[in-house]
Every structure is written in structure tokens, then in C-alpha cells.
Structure 1
Amino acid sequence: MEKENRIKVYIITGFLGAGKTTVLNSLLQQLSASKNIVIENEFGKVNIDATLIAGKIDNLYELTSGCICCSLDNELLEVLGDVLRMEDTPDHVFIETTGIADTGNIIGMLQLPEVTAHYELVRTVCVVDAENIQDRLVQQPEPGKQIACADVLVINKIMALTVPELVSVYEMLEAINPLAFVTATESGELKLRDLHAPVTRSPIPYTPAPVEHLHKINTVLFTTPDAFNLNMLVYVLDFHCNVYPDQLYRIKGYVSIQDSDEKFLVQSTGKYLHITAVGSWGEETPASTLVFIGKDLKSATIQRILQPATKR
């Protein structure tokens, strides 16, 4: 399949009860003229959410053997293979995850070379329950990981919040994930223009308002004019992504590589790390800028981790 003709994939994630299926229905209704396939995952033998999908779909695949991110790698890949064998391939595939999914691992699966040859992951959407998200972030690790990995954050069920409370949620989400587009809705409506809203491609410093939150998820910005040794950078980042997946949720940014004139994009989600050349620096001065999102991250620790990778 030609690269420009790849099937577009969207991940819909969010913690239990956030309103993922409602958001999915909103998108399916807006795309009723397209051929859409839904892959629905629920942690249980009976997938109740699958019965709630009201939008126009051409096929529904239900995965109920476990959580898609940790026990269904092969089953998900088999479904994606089945889709490719369809006589009339779809325009879009929507993957709705279970509420306790670690989204980073699903994103990683979709970035495997054998998958990217046929599928393009366009956006990861995280639905956030406006009323409960601050408590959920304190109680469980999964909501923080889901927020950190998202390209679009949908604050849902805002009708019960006062304006200051809603502003507080906005500020909290932007502090956790300054790379995402954030929007709000009363009952799960997500416009296509918001689904495809520009996502920050070049990380920039972000200084959130001084709001006190009980959760310990934070963002660390690392910048340096030095070029990295590519092999050492892969080693140190891959090591820490695999050893500390419950602390380091996401890395994204651009780096300069020793003995290369190209700009390299760094992305990690869960335990998956990808570093790829994306063209020349053009008129930009080569430099390295990385955003780290996780739990209790320290600037000094990030600097210490990366320092060996700048040596020749």
C-alpha cells in the first residue's frame, strides 16, 4: 500500500467512565460518508460498550480477552491484518481502549514498521472526566499516562463545573501535557476540526499558572546546543523508558546528531522509543530540545541521564 494511501487510525482513550464511547459516536456520525471500522476493547468477557456505539460503522471488532495494551498485542495485529484483507479497505480505523489501558504501548504497536507500512496513526484522543480527573490522577497511574500520550485532550462533562474549576482543569492538563490540543464539551461532542487541530511539533518552554495539585505528574524541558551521539542517545533513553515506565510516560522533541546535518525527531510512549531523521535544519541553528512527561521528574536527573550522550 502506498504511503499516502495508508488507512488512518485514531485511538480513543481515557479512564473508566470518562465518556470515550460518546466521543467515538460523535466522530462516527460526522464521518458517516466514510468507511469506518471500530476496534473495541473492554476488560471483561462481555463488551457492554460495543452495544452503545451508535454511529455508522462498516465493521466492529471486539477484543474482550484482556487489556489491549498488555495482553492482546498479537490479537490486535491479527485484526489489523484482517482489515487489510478486506475487499474494500476502510478510510478510518478507530481503536477505543479499555479505561485502564497504558496508551503508550498501543501507540508503540502502531509504530512497528510492518504496521506503519499500511496504517497511519493520525491522532490519539484522551477523554477526561472534568468532575473526577483531579481525584483520578491522585488515585491511579493510568489517567496520567493516558493524558501524557495524547495529541488531543477532550475535557468532558463540564456542565457541573464553575468557570474557575474549569480553568483549573485546563491549566492542570496543559501543565501535564503542553504538547496536546485541549478542548472542552458538555456531553462528548468533538468536532472534526478539533480532532485535526495542529499539535505542537516543536516543544517550547511552558510556564503554567501557580496552581497547586495533589498529583505528582510534571513536565521537564531539556535544551542544549550540543549534538548527541546517536547510539548513546538511543541507549540511555531506551534504557530508562524500559526500566522506569511507571515514572517516565512520554518524551518528544527534536535533536541534533553528531556528524549529521539532519534534524532528528525523538518520540517515546510507554516502552517504545523512536528516533527518526525528518530532514534538514534549514535556516534553524541546530540544537536539541526535548520534553519529558512523567511522575516526579527532576531537571537535574534528566540532565545527568543525557550528559553521557553528548560525548564523542
Structure 2
Amino acid sequence: MEIAEPIKVYILTGFLGAGKTTILNSLLSQFPGHKNIVIENEFGKVNIDAGLITEKIDQLYELTSGCICCSLDNDLLEVLGNILQNTDRPDQVFIETTGIADVGNIIGMFHMPEVQRHYQLVSTLCVADAENIFERLQQLPETGKQLSCADIIIINKIKHLTLPELVYLSQQLEQMNPLAFITTTEDGHVPLHTLQFSEKPLVPVSTASPVKHPHKVNTVLFESPDAFNLNMLVFVLDFHFNAYPDQLYRIKGYIRVKDTEEKMLVQSTGKYLHIQPAGSWGGQQPASTLVFIGKELKSATIQRILAPAIRKAQEKVERDRIR
């Protein structure tokens, strides 16, 4: 029996009033001839945004009993299962989360093996309102989490910004999330050709800036030639993600692991941690490179978190040498 191609998934997030639904309509209009399904989530019993979707879609699912990223985990999985029962499979699924969503958990769901068999998460897009993004960052931690989890950040409503203001905003967002591609729009129309769906290299921008950041979200880069003990690494990362969910938002990178020649891909968002083989190192010297995104992170703290996993690997080397 031929296995069907995974259904492509796009997650659209951003704070209330940023322009998510307008951008969703823009994206839908650029997939003529495709079968598109939209999953809309609004925090409340009535989903107002669903009525604003003007482009042609083949099916709309509305989740209104809570936030899609927390209490509705099971509801979302049920919807994804129902979609697979359709006689006519869709080409794509667009998920628009509520404006107060902590989107990390929903991203993590699409890394679960049983979900990955049927769905491919292409990209997470975060819409940032150019006029009040810094205010939102001060008010609500969810805004920083949404930006940190994005593969693409769309700065919307830029027409009232001067060029220096736009450059400054772009630089600040890039420092907050160096893993994301950043693009801009005045009115919510985003041409597909301007969106980069390929992976961005794991090289964060410099955190040095003469101007005080109007937010507390920052990036820490960890680099080391030392190998990790995989079991200990999973333990320390799981512990700290669960112990400090409001401080540590996202991890992504490649690591060197003791007793294997393969490099391993590390991805962590929300409550989900995934470490999986990512091929050989090729001509590269095996070494670990991890990008941490969170609130007021410090390099010394990251070093301290990871140290037990490196030390455990080194202890094994010493025991093997003695034998």
C-alpha cells in the first residue's frame, strides 16, 4: 500500500490585533488549486476570527473551549485525526492560534512520531505589530515566547515607522530570535516568494548593543568540542524546561554525543524535547552548537546547566581508559 505524502502544516501566531487573520487570508489566496483546511482557535465560546476568513478553504475547524496550546492538546490531536479520515485529503493545514498562546507546545506536538507520519510542519510564522510590539513584550511573556518559537517573523503595519525605526525594530527582533527569517508588510499581504521556509544557519547575531533593549528576551550561544552523555543531557534539559518554563523558551542546535559518530539535532519548545540523529558530520570537526532563547538568560547559567552532561561523558572516557 502506497503511503500518502504528509500533509503540510503552517502555524500562524502573534498577539491580539497583530493582523494574523489578514495574513492568513493573504497566504490562502496564494495557493490556488490547493485543498486547504484551517484550524482556528479563539479563547472563548465564540470564535469571531473564523468569520473574517474570506479566502476559499475546503474545511474549517473551530476550537473555542480553551487555548489550543494547553487545555486543547487532546482536542487538536482529535481534529488532526479527523482530518485523516477525510476521503479527499487536504494539501495543507493552516493553524491560527489565539493571541495569548504559548505556541511552543503545539509546535512540539508536530515532532511526535505518530503525528510526523501524517503531517509535516513546514513553518511557524509569528506576526508582530510594528506599532506596539515592544509594549506587548513588556506586558505579556507570551509575546516573547511566540517570537522565540517562530521560523519566520512578519513585521506588520510598518507604514507609520521611519526607516531608522524599522531598522532598529528588525535588529531587536533578530537579536531575540536569530533562528528566524524576518520580513515586513504594510497591510498584511505577504508574497510567498519573500518567505524563507528553509532552515537558517545556527549563527546568532551579536548581543552587543549601545542601546538598551526594550525587552528581556535574549539569546545565548553554547559551543563546545566536548561530547555529551545523551541520557544526562536529556535529564538536565527536561528538568530545566519544566522547572523554568517562563524563562527558557527554546533550544535548537546540533550536538556531539559520546559513543556515536552521528551528529544529533536538538529541538525544544514548550514541554517537548526532541533529540534525533541528523546524519554524519561530513568534513566538519564534531562539536556542539546550541542556541538558547529565553528571558534574561546568562551564558554562565547555560554552562552550568550543561556541565553535568559533559562531565558524565568524560567520566566514562576515564573509566574506559583505566580498564
Q: TM-score, normalization: structure 1?
A: 0.97
Deviation digits for residues 89-110 of structure 1, max 9, x if unmatched?
0000000000000010111122
Which residue pairs with 1:118 in the alignment?
Answer: 118
Question: Is the 8 Å Cα contact of residues 179 and 204 (structure 2) preserved in structure 1?
Answer: no
Paired residue for 1:94? 94
Instruction: For 1:203, give the aligned amino acid.
Output: L
Matched AA of 1:63: L
Deviation digits for residues 71-123 of structure 1, max 9, x if unmatched?
11111111101100000100000000000000101111222111111000010
- Contact between 1:19 and 1:129, CA under 8 Å: does it hold in 2? yes
How far the C-alpha of 1:168 sits from its partner, in A, is 1.2
1:240-294 CA distances to partner (integer Å, 9 max, x unpaired)? Answer: 1111110000000000000110010001011111001010001000000000000
Deviation, 1:203, is 1.2
How big is the shift at 1:206? 1.8
Contact kept, 8 Å, 1:102 with 1:145, in 2: the verdict is yes
Residues 184-193 or 276-285, more deviating: 184-193
- 1:152 is matched with which residue? 152
Which residue of 1 is the match for residue 58 of structure 2?
A: 58
Q: TM-score, normalised by structure 2?
A: 0.94
| Structure 1, 190-199 or 126-135: larger mean CA deviation | 190-199
Q: 2: distance between equivalents of 1:80 and 1:4?
A: 15
SS in 2 for 1:285: coil
How far is 1:191 from its partner? 1.7
Deviation per residue, 1:43-96 (Å, 9 max, x gap)? 111111000001110000000001101111111111101100000100000000
Hey, what's the Cα distance between the residues in 2 that align with 1:224 and 1:199?
22
1:203 aligns with 2:202: yes
Aligned residues: 311
Contact 1:168 1:211 in 2 (8 A): no
The residue aligned with 2:321 is: none
Query: Does the CA contact (< 8 Å) of 1:10 and 1:124 recur in 2?
Result: yes
Partner of 2:80: helix, strand, or coil? helix
Question: 1-side partners of 2:114 and 2:196: how far apart?
Answer: 25
Structure 1 position 3, deviation (Å) = 7.1
Tell me the secondary structure at the aligned position of residue 159 of structure 2. helix
Q: Matched residue of 1:158: which SS? A: coil
- C-alpha displacement at 1:189, in angstroms? 1.3
C-alpha separation between the residues in 1 aligned to 2:2 and 2:38?
Answer: 23
Q: Counterpart in 2 of 1:216?
A: 216
Residue 71 of structure 1 is matched in structure 2 by 71
Moved more, 186-195 or 279-288: 186-195
Instruction: Tell me the secondary structure at the aligned position of residue 218 of structure 2.
Output: strand
Q: Which residue of 1 is the match for residue 84 of structure 2?
A: 84
- The answer on whether the counterparts of 2:204 and 2:219 sit within 8 Å (CA) in structure 1 is no
Structure 1 residue ranges without an equivalent (≥5): none
Q: 1:247 is matched with which residue?
A: 247
1:37/1:60 contact within 8 Å kept: yes
Alignment RMSD (CA, Å):
1.3
Distance 1:24 1:95 in 2: 9
Q: Secondary structure at the match of 2:34?
A: coil
Give percent identity, aligned residues only.
68
Q: Deviation at 1:193?
A: 2.1
Q: 1:128 to 1:286 in 2, by over 3 A?
A: same
Task: Give 1:131-280 correspondences, 5 Å limit.
Answer: 131-200=131-200, 202-208=201-207, 209-280=209-280
Mapped to 2, the partners of 1:3 and 1:12 lie a distance apart of 28
The structure that has the greater radius of gyration is 2
The alignment partner of 1:159 has SS state of coil
Unaligned 5+ runs, structure 2: 314-323
* Cα deviations by residue, 1:167-222 (Å, 9 ceiling, x for unpaired): 1110110000000000000011122223344331x412421543322311100000
Letter in 2 for 1:51: G
CA distance in 2, matches of 1:275, 1:51: 40
How far did residue 2 of structure 1 move?
6.8
